[in-house]
Amino acid sequence: MDSKLKVSIIGASGYGGGELIRLLLNHPYVELNQITSESNVGKYAHSIHPNLRGQKLLQFVSAGDLEHCDVLFLAMPHGKAQLSIEKYSKLADKIIDLSADFRFSSKEDYKKWYGEEHLAPEFLSKFVYGLPEIHREEIKKAKYVSGVGCNATSVNIPLYPLAKEGLIDMLVLDLKVSSSEAGNKASEASHHPERANCLRTFAPVFHRHCGEISKELGISSDKIHFTATALDMVRGILSTSHVFLNKDVSEKDIRAIYRKYYSNEPFVRIVKDNQGIYRLSEPKILAGTNYCDIGFEKEEGTNRLVVIGAIDNLMKGASGTAVQCMNLMCGFEEKTALGFIGLHPI
Cα 175 → chain centroid: 15
* CATH at residue 246: 3.30.360.10
Residue 337 maps to a domain: no
* Residue 144 and residue 25 in one domain: yes
* Residue 69 and residue 208 in one domain: no
Tell me which H or E stretch contains 144: strand 144-146
* Residue 269 and residue 320 in one domain: no
The reply to whether 292 belongs to the active site is no
Name the active-site residue from 150, 210, 325, 330: 150
Confidence at residue 309, expressed as pLDDT on a 0 to 100 scale: 98
Question: What region does 208 belong to: left with phi over 0, alpha with psi -120 to 50, or beta?
Answer: alpha
Confidence at residue 184, expressed as pLDDT on a 0 to 100 scale: 82
3-state DSSP assignment of residue 203: strand
* CATH at residue 88: 3.40.50.720
Domain count within the chain: 2
Residue 248 maps to a domain: yes
Residue 295 maps to a domain: yes
Residue 336 maps to a domain: no
Count of helix runs (H) and strand runs (E) in the chain:
10, 14
* Residue 125 and residue 97 in one domain: yes
d(CA 294, CA 98): 24
* Residue 324 and residue 238 in one domain: no
* Residue 80 and residue 165 in one domain: no
Residue 108 maps to a domain: yes
* Residue 155 and residue 303 in one domain: yes
3-state DSSP assignment of residue 307: strand
* Residue 22 and residue 86 in one domain: yes
* Residue 24 and residue 120 in one domain: yes
* Residue 143 and residue 158 in one domain: no
d(CA 74, CA 88): 9
d(CA 126, CA 301): 47
- Cα dihedral sign for 192, 194, 199, 203? negative
Contact 288, 339 (CB under 8 A): no
Residue 340 maps to a domain: no
d(CA 61, CA 76): 15
* Residue 42 and residue 78 in one domain: yes
Residue 175 maps to a domain: yes
* pTM score above 0.85: yes
Residue 12 maps to a domain: yes
Confidence at residue 99, expressed as pLDDT on a 0 to 100 scale: 97
d(CA 340, CA 287): 10
In order along its 346 residues, the chain shows pLDDT tens digits of: 568 999 999 999 999 999 999 999 999 999 999 999 999 999 999 999 999 999 999 999 999 999 999 999 999 999 999 999 999 999 999 999 999 999 999 999 999 999 999 999 999 999 999 999 999 999 999 999 999 999 999 999 999 999 999 999 999 999 999 999 888 888 888 888 988 898 999 999 988 999 999 999 999 999 999 999 999 999 999 999 999 999 999 999 999 999 999 999 999 999 999 999 999 999 999 999 999 999 999 999 999 999 999 999 999 999 999 999 999 999 999 999 999 999 999 9
Phi, psi of 166 (to 5 degrees): 70, 35
d(CA 335, CA 331): 11
Q: Which domain holds residue 199?
A: 151-314
According to DSSP, the residues that pair with 35 across neighbouring strands are 9, 60
Confidence at residue 2, expressed as pLDDT on a 0 to 100 scale: 62
* Residue 159 and residue 308 in one domain: yes
